[in-house]
Amino acid sequence: MQYYKEEKEKERIICLLCRHYCKLKEGRIGMCGVNQNVEGKLKNLVYGHPVALHVDPVEKKPLYHLLPGTTALSFGTVGCNFRCPFCQNWDISQEHEINENIYVSPEEMVAMALENGCSSIAYTYNEPTIFYPYAKDIGLLAKEKGLKNIYVSNGFETPEVIEDMASWLDAANIDLKSWNDEYYRKVLKGGLEEVKDTLRRMVDAGIWVEVTTLLIEGENDSDNDLREMAEFIRNDLGAHVPWHLSAFHPDYKMLDHERTGLETLQRAKKIGKEAGLHYIYLGNVPVHGDTHCPECNELLIDRTGYSITVNKLKDGHCPKCQREIEGVWK
């Protein structure tokens, strides 16, 4: 795809990477801080310039229904199209200074994943949509080598990008940060309806989707909001879509806010179960992230931290009742 649209009569281009649709005159840079109008074309300033690069368990993304027990070569750049005050990676997401001394080509990134025995590449740490041209070039090569491609995203991709990524992206964990559109717009600088639309489009495109909600007490944890979130996942995405409920810890601009308690996550999980969701997992708390069969409740996968201690799945099915368990297992 072409990542921008020309408006010659207004002497500007429109960036098509995220739903801000930044209108850029010559030399101007979008809200993300890393996409610029250079001579009438969109230039991705962080192409080839990762600032964070690690080999992580895929469970850390978190993705619990994609190749459990494997590792993902995970990387991010500087920049972001949101302004979340609780961001855990704010030191890179809110940074716009690019270290051009570091260059990793798409070919080198894929080779690194293979050399480290990874089964996937994860585009993560900051918002990958803002470096989509780089991610896609890596992803196409990775796919040729049998690697899976994973997005960890705030869900503000444009419909144009979602349609394009369906050809190479295998899975995504998308943040559903709040059920309040005003909070999304004023505080996060995003939009609830746009994120909901992204989630629907990704599921419809055949991308494996898991949803994460970082629960912040007093901000997004009311029973009503949690119930409506769970019902949206069940009704619009599917009861099989995993919901990760993660505990907030003080960071960035919210250092004075209390850490989220385990009881808040357990309350949210109960609400999700009552809404009919099959797979709900708690994060950032010392509990097991086990997967049980929705049909017979057989323990299928035992997770202790990010380690898989038991995996009873047989070709993606429950060994006891033979129900197919939704996910990407090979």
Sign of CA dihedral 62, 63, 68, 72: negative
285-316 pLDDT tens trace = 989 999 999 999 999 999 998 999 999 999 99
Q: Which amino acid belongs to residue 200? A: R
**Confidence at residue 258, expressed as pLDDT on a 0 to 100 scale:** 95
**In percent, how much of the chain has pLDDT > 90?**
98
**Confidence at residue 305, expressed as pLDDT on a 0 to 100 scale:** 86
State both tokens at 296: 């017979």
**In percent, how much of the chain has pLDDT > 70?**
100
Q: What is the pTM for the complete model shown?
A: 0.97
CB 79 within 8 A of CB 99: no
106-143 pLDDT tens trace = 999 999 999 999 999 999 999 999 999 999 999 999 99
CB 34 within 8 A of CB 45: yes
**Confidence at residue 101, expressed as pLDDT on a 0 to 100 scale:** 96
Extract the runs of DSSP E, i.e. beta strands, from the chain: 4-7, 12-15, 23-25, 35-38, 41-44, 52-57, 71-76, 120-123, 148-153, 171-175, 208-215, 243-247, 280-283, 291-292, 299-304, 307-311
Which domains are present in the chain? 4-44 (no CATH), 52-287 (3.20.20.70)
Burial class (CB in 10 A: 0-12, 13-18, 19+), 115: exposed
Q: Which amino acid belongs to residue 30? A: G
